[in-house]
Structure 1
């Protein structure tokens, strides 16, 4: 390489730093939070929270002013138009997490704010990478910060859950890294587009390339809590702080799905000599059954939501299995609506826990004493079950429509099984989602119970409820936004 070419490359890389303005703002604000912690110690939660929300506003402004399409840093980053809707969604969810009612003790700690922003940074990087090693580092940033945050309940149960989360995560990371090394050895590159060109020219690589990609998929299964990499989820969800659990149930999952969909298309995984979609279809069905059947007997609301999350992961991955523009659009619609449903459900769980109600049977009769709280809980539960008039119904309708269209195009029989068993699991989920409304309004309790549902909590939950209902009655608003983006990637 000549000196002139080297100089041009350096100039190009320096010019590309503008695309990382949101990430740069995030990093600077994160270090300011650490300084605030050193100065204020475990005091000044209002100052720290206000600054964190202000930082999120700055990051959102930076996102709105940067370009959202193109290849940067000599191919390391490839920003598609999907980033334009994913980043604002991530920022909005982070802002709501900072307002959770039981997070007051956590908000005193500057490290808590810092680690939340590090997860946000990891997800923002993951959805725009074009290099598998950078994707691995982004996933590790998300994972390591998640392991630490789960222990922020500062009790024995939380530490045990954090260790279990760490051990499963370390195993998944090791297998994923070994898969990356095999892919590099076989294709000579870790650039996703270069790997795609190689696969399109030489899809038949015998035994090792399928094994390499399956090892890579292990990391994806872990972050999505797809069976068989789901075992960590129930204990982590039950023992971790509710705001943290809500956060890791949404952001990493949606970010990994976006990354995986881009990987499948850019790397031409369709040309591989083995049918990876059939493997994921099987795992999706297993995850739905494991999640829904295991949730039936749960008495702890957070543990029930863990199994719910496993079942929803099985539905969300259907969008990647379909893999066309309609499939990715349906997956993103489902992911956004699922994020709001989960956010609202965990917010109410946090309200209940703050008042001392941790078990589902503890909620007996509370819906009659706090009608608005009970109505909001019912809306979130029927939304998660996929019933009208909520966005959960619209999301599942779009996903099943995309799957059926794909089956008519491809004709693979396992797609019919995925469609039918997916509908069956939707029916099974009704039995545990409607358990909470049953206890709130129908089941009676001998002891008198009271709950404080503050104006602030009511306002936040009402806004989330409005968004969940709006995505049913005016689903075209979100669909029109999604239609503005190029899902051909």
Structure 2
């Protein structure tokens, strides 16, 4: 390379740094939060929370100013239209998490704000990388931060759940890194689009490349809590602080799904002789059954939501299996609605737990004492079950429509099995999602119970319920937003 070419390349790289303005604002804000923690110690949470929300606003402005599609840093980053949609959603989720009731104790610790922003940083980087090593590092940033946050309940149960989460995560990371090294050895590159070119030219590489990708996918299974990498989820969800659990049940999952969709399309994995879609279809079905059947006997609401999350992961993966523009669009619609539903569910669980109602049976009769809270809980639960008139029904209807259209095109028999068993699992989920409305309104309790539902709680829950209902009655609003983006990644 000549000196002129080198200078030109350096100038090009320096010019690309502007595209990382949102990430730069996020990193600077994180360090300011550490300084605020040194000044105010574990008190004056209002200042740190206000600054965090202000920083999220600045990051959102930076995203709107830099959301330009293209390839940057010699192909290391590839900004697609999906990135411009996903980043504002990630920022919104992070902002709501900072307003959770139980978070008031956590918010006194500046490390809590810092770690939440680090997960946000990892998610933002993960959806725009075009290099498997950078993807691995982004995923590790999310994972290691999540391990720490799960222990922020600061009790024995939380530490045990954190250790279990860490051990499973370490195993998944090791297998993922080994798969990554095999991919590099076989293809000579870690750049996703170049791997795609290699596969399209030499699709028949025996079993070694499929094995390498399966090992790499273990990390994806772990973050999505797909079977068999789901064992950490119930204990982590039950023992971890509710705001943290709500956060890791949404943000990392959606980020990994977007990365996975972009990887499968950009790397031309369909050209492999190995049918990876059939493997993921099998994992999706097993995850749905394990999640839904295990949730039936749960008495702890957070543990029930952990198994619910496993089942929903199986549904979300269907969008990647479909793999066309409509499939990715539907997957994003489902992911956004799922985010609102999960936030609402965990917010209500947090309100209940703050007042000593830790078991589902403890909720007996509370719906009649606080009707607005009870009705909100009913709407959130039937949305998670996929019943009308909620966005959960619209999301599942669109997902099954995309799967049916794909089956009509491809004709693979495992797709019709995925379709039928997916419908069956939707029916199974009714039995545990409707358990909470049953105890709130129908089941009676001999002891007198009271629950306080503050104006702040009512406002936040009302907004989330409104969004869940709006995505049914005016689903075209979100679909029109999604239609503005090109999902042929």
Scaled to the shorter chain, the TM-score interval is over 0.9
- CA deviations on 1:76-120 (whole Å, 9 max, x unpaired) are 000000011100000000000000001111000000000000000
Q: Which residue of 1 aligns with 2:172?
A: 172
Q: Is the 8 A contact 1:77 1:131 kept in 2?
A: yes
Runs of 4+ in 1 over 6 A off after TM superposition: none
Listed as ranges, the matches of 1:98-247 within 5 Å are 98-247=98-247
- Are 1:485 and 2:485 an aligned pair? yes
Listed as ranges, the matches of 1:247-262 within 5 Å are 247-262=247-262
Aligned-residue offset at 1:206: 1.1
Q: Secondary structure of the residue that 1:78 maps to in structure 2?
A: strand
Q: Is the 8 A contact 1:68 1:83 kept in 2?
A: no
CA distance in 1, matches of 2:149, 2:6: 43
Aligned-residue offset at 1:274: 0.4
Listed as ranges, the matches of 1:1-400 within 5 Å are 1-400=1-400
Aligned-residue offset at 1:68: 2.8
- CA deviations on 1:448-472 (whole Å, 9 max, x unpaired) are 0000000000000000000000000
CA distance in 2, matches of 1:24, 1:313: 31
5+ long unaligned stretches in structure 1: none
Q: Secondary structure of the residue that 1:361 maps to in structure 2?
A: helix
Task: State the Cα RMSD in Å.
Answer: 0.4
- CA deviations on 1:45-71 (whole Å, 9 max, x unpaired) are 000000000000000000010133000
CA distance in 1, matches of 2:404, 2:203: 27
- Are 1:405 and 2:405 an aligned pair? yes
CA distance in 1, matches of 2:281, 2:17: 39
5+ long unaligned stretches in structure 2: none
CA distance in 2, matches of 1:357, 1:335: 29
Listed as ranges, the matches of 1:446-465 within 5 Å are 446-465=446-465
Q: Is the 8 A contact 1:75 1:191 kept in 2?
A: yes
Aligned-residue offset at 1:356: 0.5
Q: Which residue of 2 aligns with 1:414?
A: 414
Aligned-residue offset at 1:273: 1.2
Q: Which residue of 2 aligns with 1:444?
A: 444
* TM-score, with length taken from structure 1: 1.00
Q: Figure out how many residues of one structure are paired with residues of the other and give that number.
A: 489
Aligned-residue offset at 1:412: 0.1
Aligned-residue offset at 1:154: 0.1
* TM-score, with length taken from structure 2: 1.00
Q: Is the 8 A contact 1:153 1:239 kept in 2?
A: yes
Q: Is the 8 A contact 2:67 2:83 kept in 1?
A: no
Q: Secondary structure of the residue that 1:82 maps to in structure 2?
A: helix
CA distance in 2, matches of 1:94, 1:242: 14
Aligned-residue offset at 1:186: 0.2
